[in-house]
Each structure stands twice: as structure tokens, then as C-alpha cells.
């Protein structure tokens, strides 16, 4: 049984721990690929810490938005500002992205973490072991990374992201193909990361997950923001018809 | 002209008895071709990786040239290295013509494009899988190349093997720059050509058998390494 009062207290704590890279301001963002406009003049402001859930139907532009704010792809038009600064390698470096399908190196679990720690000049066995313990993989360092279970691979990908000490953690449907136990383990780590002050942008289709994790919800449909509300408002009474339909389980195309 | 069966008998006799001439020729062949393979990997692997991950004007022509150079005729390479190393050539002062060093240089020139072209293709495929993750981690080009070479290490063994196979089997380049001098620059392929022309099929066949056993052995070793790596999902 979850303690709702405690959850509210934790959520309030997260919001106060807004990292220096906030606010994120997106104005008139447009992205087109092969003649097809996928994001249409999207505007969004995120100025609080905690976990922002990005929801919406397939093809709405959620993953694209994550890649755009992370600087992996460049917009056709519009502006993305993190703490007033446009996206640059320096901004990307302060963030980490966990992909839906973890891309692990063909090495051991420990070597996957050592690779990132070394690239960031933080290589040490104690740091690596602490990260492995944090994601529940203590003592598994010697195993081949690609032979871990799906849930373990995703937790290792999360540990690798945390190895960069990100101010913003971007999660692109990381639990989409995991079983409930793996989802629970992953969510517990993410909640803990957010509690410690890391801003989390979490893309998910899972309404239950969004209810459990979100401080605020950005609902995207058709390449623009249909709604951005605090989680309790969003789930109690969504403003937009498209979000209401989505939450009611209707097919939103 | 020896009888075919008699030649085979002689060949097995030479191999079984560990004939000193045979051992000397095989040892030099391995020394030259393994050295050339090592050097070609030192040059070709980073070059292939660089071509795989970088984007610059002229990249496609560079890839086409490297691919085309895979088909370099050994005699042409031999001739070019001969001209460079001969007394009147730009590198004549080194005085290495008709030495194993010249043979190593010639074979290195011959197989470096093979190593570069095959590793470029292989690393480009690997990079397609890793590229987004690497960009997210803000790796430098050097860090990317190092990571790709290490992660592709077992597949790249096959690339090195292709280079070694080409080097150890070629005759034209080492014949021209080595001169096939007995006890100095005679390797398996040049000896086979010479002994065949002299009609001494026994030694020629013995060398041919050793050459094929080496090729089979090296292939089997690399294959078993790759299979072991695949079991750990490292390949």
C-alpha cells in the first residue's frame, strides 16, 4: 500500500530540486523528414524538476521530441533553450538518454560502465560497483552484458546513463518490452534518481506507469502539445478531448 | 618429369622428416607474411574505421579507391616497390632490396587496402548500431573509433585473416623485390614456382601441402576464437 502523503512530500521535494539546466523552453518547434512534417510548431515550457511524463499515441512525435531536446537531431525551425542556452554538445553532455532497446557494447557488464566512466574521466572500480549496486546488478560485473535478461540490460543501460551524472535523464519508453517485475525495479531506480534532483523526461505509453511516476504530464498528439498539466489534474480531468479519449481507452490515431 | 605418385611420396617424406630447407622456407614465409599482416592491420584498421565513421568531402571517392586497390596485382606492387627501393629509387639508400624487409613492405602495400576496405564495411555496420548512443554520450571521434575497433575485434580477426591469406599465397611481389635468393629470400610460393620449373615436384608439392595446412590451421583457429566469442555475445 503506497503512502500518498509521503508521495506528495517526495514530489514536492523533487520539484524544488530543479537542476540548473531548467527551464526548458521550446518555441515554434518544427521537424520534417522526407517531406512529411512530424512536429508542427510545438511550444512547451518545463520549469520544475521531478518526473515529466511525455505521453501520446504512436507517431505523435514523443521520441522525436526527446531526440530534439537532447540534440541528437536538429529541428527544421523553432527554438529549444535549456536554461536560456540553445542545445549544444555542452548541453547534451549534461544529459543522458536511455533508449527503448538498450544498445550495449559487446563486452562485460563492468566494461560497459568502465567505458563511459573512462570517457568522462571518472573511471574507478568503486564508482562502477556503486552504480551496479544502485541498479541491482552488484556482483554481475564479469558477465557478458548482452547475455543479461531484457530487464537487466535496461537497468545496465540506466546505470550507464547515471555514470555520466546527468542533470536531465531522458527515457524513451525504456520499459516497453519488460515484464512487471522488471518494470517495477526500473521505476524504483528512476524515482530514486528524480528524488535526488535529476530532472526526468519519461516517454511512455503506459497509463498505469504514468499514474505511478508522473509529477506532470505532457500529452502530445499529431506533432504538437495537446496538453501539459500536473499529473493529478491530468488524470482527474484532462483538458483536451484527445487526452480524454486516450485515457478512456479509445483509439487515438 | 617425376611420376605424380612418386612426387607425393617425396613430399610427405620431406614434411615428415622436417627437412631443414623446407623448415627454413616455411619459417621465412610465416615471418614475412605475419609481419606484413601486422603492419597492414596497424595501418588499415584505423584507416577503415576512420572512413567508416567520418564524413568529409571526398569520402566516397576515397572509399572507392580503397575498394579498387583490393584488386592490386602483386606483380605491379612488386614492380612499384622495386622501383622505390632500387639503387636509383627514392628509397635506394636504405639498401633493403632483395631482403625480407623489402618483401614485408611489398606485402604490406598489397594487403593494407584489403584490411582497410573490409574493416570499413564491417565497422560502418557496427557504427550504424552504436551511432545514436555514441552521440548521446558525446564521444570524440577518437573514442568512437577505439570503441568500434575493440567491439568489432572478433569480426576483424577474419579481416586480418583475409589479408594474411592474400599475403602468404602471393608470388609476384615477393619474387620481384626478394629475388627468390636461396637461404635469404626464398619463401614457399617462390620456391614452389622455382622447383616446379626445375621439375623437382617433390619439394614443390611438399611446400604446397604445408601452405594448405597453414591456411587450414589459421582459419580453424580464427573460427574457433569467433565461435567462443559468439557464445559470450562478444562477436
- The crossing angle, in degrees rounded to 10, of helices B141-151 and B153-169 is 70
| Dihedral of alpha carbons A99, A154, A177, A242, sign | negative
CA nearest neighbour of B162 among B224, B220, B114: B114
Which residue did the predictor score with more confidence, A34 or B11? A34
A144 interaction partners in chain B (CB closer than 8 Å): 232-234
Q: From first to last of its 253 residues, what are the pLDDT tens digits of chain A? A: 334 443 443 444 444 444 558 899 999 999 999 999 999 999 999 999 999 999 998 888 999 999 999 999 999 999 999 999 999 999 999 999 999 999 999 999 999 999 999 999 999 999 999 999 999 999 999 999 999 999 999 999 999 999 999 999 999 999 998 999 999 999 999 999 999 999 999 999 899 999 999 999 999 998 889 999 999 999 999 988 899 998 888 766 6
pLDDT of amino acid B111 = 98
Q: Do the Cβ atoms of A21 and A82 come closer than 8 Å?
A: yes
Question: Cis before residue B177, ω within 30 degrees of 0?
Answer: no
Phi, psi of A97 (to 5 degrees): -120, 130
User: What is the C-alpha separation between A39 and A65, in angstroms, rounded?
Assistant: 8
- B60 has pLDDT over 80: yes
User: What is the C-alpha separation between A169 and A155, in angstroms, rounded?
Assistant: 14
Find, in chain B, the residue whose alpha carbon is nearest to that of A104.
B130
Residue among B147, B232, B235 whose CB faces A115 most closely: B147
Chain-centre distance for alpha carbon A141: 25
Q: Please list the residues that pair with A26 across neighbouring strands.
A: A44, A80
CA nearest neighbour of B115 among B168, B159, B50: B159
Determine, for residues A103 and B133 on separate chains, whether the beta-carbon distance falls below 8 Å: yes
- B3 has pLDDT over 90: no
| Residue-wise pLDDT tens digits, B200-234 | 888 888 889 989 998 899 889 988 998 999 888 88
pLDDT of amino acid A1 = 36
- Stated pTM of the model: 0.84
Calculate ∠ Cα B191-B196-B199, nearest 5°: 125
Cβ neighbors of B171 (< 8 A, separation 6 or more) are B74, B189, B190, B192, B193
Give the three-state DSSP class for A29: strand
Determine, for residues A96 and B136 on separate chains, whether the beta-carbon distance falls below 8 Å: yes
Q: Do the Cβ atoms of A148 and A102 come closer than 8 Å?
A: no
Give the three-state DSSP class for B148: helix
Determine, for residues A144 and B232 on separate chains, whether the beta-carbon distance falls below 8 Å: yes
| C-alpha distances out from residue B189 to B28, B33, B35, Å | 11, 11, 17
pLDDT of amino acid A251 = 65
pLDDT of amino acid B49 = 95
CA nearest neighbour of A179 among A220, A148, A151: A151
**Span between the terminal Cα atoms of chain B, in Å:** 50
The CA R_g of chain B, rounded to the nearest whole Å, is: 20
- Structure confidence at residue B9 as a pLDDT band (50, 70, 90): confident
Residue A201: DSSP 8-state: E
User: What is the C-alpha separation between A186 and A190, in angstroms, rounded?
Assistant: 6
pLDDT of amino acid A59 = 86
pLDDT of amino acid A46 = 96
Domains identified in chain B and CATH numbers: 4-230 (1.10.3720.10)
Using a CB–CB cutoff of 8 Å, tell me whether A99 touches chain B. yes
User: What is the C-alpha separation between A25 and A6, in angstroms, rounded?
Assistant: 30
| Residue-wise pLDDT tens digits, B15-41 | 889 889 999 999 999 999 999 999 999
Which residue did the predictor score with more confidence, B136 or A10? B136
Q: How many CB atoms lie within 10 A of CB B40?
A: 27
Find, in chain A, the residue whose alpha carbon is nearest to that of B148.
A105
Give the three-state DSSP class for A165: coil
- B167 has pLDDT over 70: yes
Determine, for residues A146 and B233 on separate chains, whether the beta-carbon distance falls below 8 Å: yes
Give the three-state DSSP class for A238: coil
| Residue-wise pLDDT tens digits, A130-140 | 999 999 999 99
CA distance B70 to chain A (A): 29
| Residue-wise pLDDT tens digits, B113-134 | 999 999 999 999 999 999 999 9
| Residue-wise pLDDT tens digits, B171-190 | 999 999 999 999 999 999 99
Using a CB–CB cutoff of 8 Å, tell me whether A86 touches chain B. no
Amino acid at each position: 500500500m503506497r503512502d500518498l502523503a509521503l508521495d506528495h512530500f517526495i514530489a514536492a521535494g523533487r520539484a524544488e530540486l530543479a537542476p540548473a539546466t531548467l527551464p526548458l523552453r521550446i518555441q515554434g518547434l518544427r521537424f520534417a523528414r522526407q517531406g512529411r512534417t512530424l512536429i508542427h510548431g510545438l511550444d512547451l515550457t518545463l520549469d520544475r524538476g521531478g518526473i515529466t511524463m511525455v505521453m501520446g499515441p504512436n507517431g505523435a512525435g514523443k521520441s522525436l521530441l526527446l531526440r530534439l531536446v537532447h540534440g541528437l537531431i536538429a529541428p527544421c525551425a523553432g527554438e529549444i533553450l535549456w536554461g536560456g542556452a540553445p542545445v549544444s554538445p555542452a548541453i547534451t553532455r549534461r544529459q543522458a538518454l536511455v533508449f527503448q532497446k538498450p544498445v550495449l557494447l559487446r563486452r562485460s557488464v563492468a566494461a560497459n560502465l568502465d567505458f563511459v566512466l573512462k570517457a568522462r574521466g571518472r573511471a574507478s572500480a568503486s564508482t562502477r560497483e556503486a552504480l551496479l549496486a544502485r541498479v541491482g546488478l552488484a556482483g554481475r560485473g564479469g558477465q557478458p552484458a548482452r547475455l543479461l535478461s531484457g530487464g537487466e540490460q535496461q537497468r545496465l543501460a540506466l546505470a550507464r546513463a547515471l555514470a555520466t551524472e546527468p542533470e536531465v535523464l531522458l527515457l524513451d519508453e525504456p520499459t516497453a518490452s519488460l515484464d512487471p517485475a522488471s518494470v517495477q525495479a526500473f521505476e524504483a531506480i528512476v524515482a530514486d534518481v528524480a528524488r535526488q534532483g535529476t530532472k526526468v523526461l519519461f516517454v511512455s505509453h503506459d497509463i498505469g506507469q504514468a499514474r505511478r511516476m508522473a509529477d506532470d504530464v505532457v500529452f502530445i498528439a499529431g506533432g504538437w502539445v495537446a496538453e501539459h498539466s500536473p499529473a493529478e489534474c491530468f488524470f482527474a480531468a484532462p483538458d483536451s478531448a484527445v487526452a480524454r479519449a486516450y485515457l478512456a481507452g479509445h483509439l487515438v490515431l | 618429369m617425376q611420376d605424380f605418385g612418386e612426387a607425393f611420396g617425396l613430399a610427405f617424406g620431406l614434411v615428415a622428416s622436417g627437412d631443414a630447407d623446407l623448415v627454413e622456407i616455411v619459417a621465412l614465409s610465416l615471418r614475412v607474411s605475419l609481419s606484413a599482416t601486422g603492419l597492414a592491420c596497424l595501418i588499415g584498421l584505423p584507416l577503415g574505421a576512420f572512413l567508416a565513421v567520418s564524413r568529409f568531402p571526398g569520402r566516397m571517392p576515397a572509399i572507392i579507391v580503397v575498394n579498387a586497390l583490393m584488386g592490386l596485382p602483386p606483380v605491379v606492387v612488386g614492380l612499384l616497390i622495386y622501383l622505390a627501393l632500387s639503387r636509383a629509387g627514392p628509397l635506394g639508400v636504405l639498401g633493403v632490396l632483395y631482403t625480407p624487409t623489402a618483401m614485408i613492405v611489398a606485402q604490406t602495400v598489397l594487403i593494407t587496402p584489403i584490411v582497410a576496405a573490409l574493416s570499413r564495411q564491417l565497422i560502418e555496420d557496427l557504427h550504424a548500431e552504436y551511432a545514436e548512443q555514441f552521440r548521446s554520450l558525446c564521444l570524440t571521434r577518437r573514442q568512437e573509433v577505439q570503441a568500434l575497433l575493440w567491439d568489432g575485434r572478433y569480426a576483424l580477426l577474419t579481416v586480418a585473416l583475409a589479408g594474411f591469406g592474400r599475403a602468404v599465397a602471393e608470388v609476384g611481389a615477393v619474387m620481384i623485390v626478394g629475388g627468390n635468393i636461396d637461404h635469404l629470400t626464398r619463401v614457399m610460393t617462390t620456391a614452389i614456382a622455382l622447383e616446379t620449373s626445375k621439375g623437382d615436384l617433390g619439394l614443390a608439392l611438399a611446400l604446397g601441402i604445408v601452405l594448405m595446412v597453414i591456411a587450414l590451421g589459421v582459419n580453424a583457429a580464427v573460427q574457433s576464437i569467433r565461435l567462443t566469442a559468439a557464445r559470450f555475445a562478444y562477436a
